[in-house]
Each structure stands twice: as structure tokens, then as C-alpha cells.
Amino acid sequence: MRLQAALEYLTTYGWAILILAVVLVVLASQGFFSPQKYAPQQCIFSSGFSCIYDFLSTNGLLQINIGQSAASAINVTSIGCNENGTETEMQAPYNPPSNQVFMPVGANYTFTVQCYAGATAASGNVGDVYSGSVLLNYTDEVSGLPSVAVGRLSVKFT
């Protein structure tokens, strides 16, 4: 009788442990325990600029809509990304004929910029997180002085 009770006890707990192990394996394979999955997305710019939305595809192209609320109108001359202290090529915005974007106070514009190429950044898989900076070179229309706006970016690949 005792042997039967012990065997039933071991069998019952054995099945429970087996089911628990299967559930943990399924959760791990779905990425439930990956901290990158729960990383917050953020896009924060220096004073006078705002990030309205951002979208990063797995091929490294970042689409970012930047709002301008500085004291005067500006001409954006180039935009680029910076990851881990390595600046990618600054690109002039595609806006023929001048390849500059005029932004009056209160305006916004969607820029497309190559933020990484190949192995220089995160893996580029959907759901992974890219963290870096966005550099916006512009010229103030009133003073004529060139300036740089820096934005901090943390976005998931989609």
C-alpha cells in the first residue's frame, strides 16, 4: 500500500514538472524572457525640435518626422545617425532643386536616413532595439548661423 502511494505521488508530481517544463520552453521560444522585447521606445530632441513619429525598417532606413518650434525658420542641410560614437554619413535631404528643407516655425517634415549598414549596428531583426542619436544640421534663417540639433533615439526594428 505504501509503495503504491509513493508511486502515485512521484507520478503526479512528475507530470506536473513535465508540463511546467514544456510551458517554460514555449515561453522562452516566443521571446517572453527577452528584455529587448520590453524596452521602451523613445525619441527625444533638443530644445526647439520634437519627434512626432519614427519608424526603423530592418534594412536600416529610418523614417523620422521632426517638428520645428525654434524662434525662427530654418533650412535643414543634412541629417544623419550616430550609434556608439560612430557617425554614419550625413545625408542631404532629398528635396530638389536645393536639397535643403525649409521649415518655418511650427512646421514638420519626414526625413528618411540610412542609420546603419550591415554589422555596424544591432542585428536588424524585427523586435530588436536600435539605440543611437539623430543629428540634424540646419541654418537659422535670421542669423544665418549653422547649428546642430541632436536627438536621442531608441526604436524597435519593424
pLDDT at 59 over 70: yes
Instruction: Give the count of alpha carbons within 13 A of 2, CB side only.
Output: 0
Q: Who wins on pLDDT, 36 or 9? A: 9
Q: What is the pLDDT of residue 121?
A: 45
Instruction: List pLDDT tens digits, range 98-126.
Output: 778 899 999 999 998 887 755 444 456 77
pLDDT band at 95 (very low <50, low <70, confident <90, very high): low
Confidence grade of residue 35 (pLDDT, cut at 50, 70, 90): low
Q: State mean pLDDT over 50-61.
A: 86
Q: 18 pLDDT exceeds 50?
A: yes
Lowest mean pLDDT of 27-31, 33-37, 56-60, 72-76, name the range. Answer: 33-37
Write a three-state SS string for 59-117: CCEEEEEEEECCCCCEEEEEEEEEECCEECCCECCCCCCCCCEEECCCCEEEEEEECCC
User: What is the value of pTM for the model shown?
Assistant: 0.67
